[in-house]
Amino acid sequence: MDRLQPRAFVIGDPIAHSRSPLIHRHWLKEFKIEGTYQPIAVSAEKLPGFIAEIKSGKAGFVGGNITIPHKEAVLHLADHSDDITRAIGSGNTLWMEDGRLCATNTDAYGFCANLDAEATGWDRGRKAVVLGAGGASRAVLHALEQRGFAQIILVNRTLERAASLAPQFKGVEPAPMEALQSALRGADLFVNTSSLGMGGGTVPDLDFSVMTPEGLVTDIVYVPLRTPFLDQAERQGRPTVDGLGMLLHQAVPGFEKWFGRRPEVTPALRQTILADL
């Protein structure tokens, strides 16, 4: 029998909004790999059946991405979840290895790789302020813990949510929204992981000058690319890094697992995605 073409997927519900197909198809073309990357809408009821189909090996699936609302479900559906997946509490990347379905979460990697590429030395800081306590925040907190930030102030509209997340990571203190401006004093890094500013909505006015002189402002929201937080920070002369790079970098480990080549995040790839935003 002919070897099946390697097939990768992104599953979620809904799935039409996903930009992952654009990223992976860009790399498939670049490497001239005869493989596919398909968005597939899979409801919660159909998820166990789809997982069984991957594991059967019959459809030629080498793995794929998993997104909302299934990111937490992989923890019990995969045969193996790594430490990162368990620490973050969700997975976004699946692959078959020795007949087993394995899961990882590449968001923390993507967050760090983006800042490593755009703001060398960003991780020499001590104090960080993270806004938002949802799923994306967990990946950022894990990344900052790994990179040795000693003090992380976790600010969230719903204080209880920050308070229950904080003890799961080292050095994290919860704080209410009203404390955001004062938390910035002496901070080396500010990260917005909340949906504030997404689609251009308004955000609180902040004075970033109270951060350390090199203090960096970044946002994991990337629509618009220049979010209201980044816009304010730039107008105040702050270094900023936008969130599109995190999306692109988090895709790298998956592509390498499925297709055996390690792709690069290039200006051409960024342009391809920007044209679609």
What is the nearest approach in angstroms of ligand ATR to the Cβ of residue 57? 32
Task: CB nearer to ligand ATR: give 54 or 112.
Answer: 112
Instruction: Count each helix (H run) and each strand (E run) in the chain, helices first.
Output: 12, 12
Q: Tell me which DSSP letter residue 14 carries.
A: S
Task: CB nearer to ligand ATR: give 55 or 161.
Answer: 161
* 45's tokens: 């009821």
Nearest-5° angle of CA 68, CA 72, CA 73? 95
What is the nearest approach in angstroms of ligand ATR to the Cβ of residue 136? 4
82 three-state secondary structure: coil
Identity (one letter) of the amino acid at 175?
A
Q: CB of 44 within 8 A of CB of 70? A: yes
What is the nearest approach in angstroms of ligand ATR to the Cβ of residue 192? 9
What is the nearest approach in angstroms of ligand ATR to the Cβ of residue 68? 7
Q: Could you check whether the bond before residue 69 is cis, i.e. omega within 30 degrees of 0?
A: yes
108 three-state secondary structure: helix
What is the nearest approach in angstroms of ligand ATR to the Cβ of residue 267? 27
Residues contacting 7, CB < 8 A, separation 6+ = 35, 36, 37, 38, 59, 60, 61, 62
φ, ψ of residue 229 to 5 degrees: the values are -65, -45
Rounded Cα distance between 193 and 153, Å, is 13
Q: Could you check whether the bond before residue 14 is cis, i.e. omega within 30 degrees of 0?
A: yes
Question: Where on the chain is the footprint of ligand ATR (CB under 6 A)?
Answer: 132-137, 156-158, 161, 193-196
DSSP letters, 194-228, are: SSTTGGG-------GGGS-TT-EEEES--SSSS-H
Nearest position to ligand ATR, beta carbon: 134
DSSP H or E run through 12? strand 7-12
Q: Give yes or no: 32 in active site.
A: no
Task: CB nearer to ligand ATR: give 104 or 137.
Answer: 137
Q: Which of 32, 58, 71, 257 is catalytic?
A: 71
- What residues does 80 pair with on adjacent strands? 102
What is the nearest approach in angstroms of ligand ATR to the Cβ of residue 163? 11
User: Could you list the active site residues?
Assistant: 71
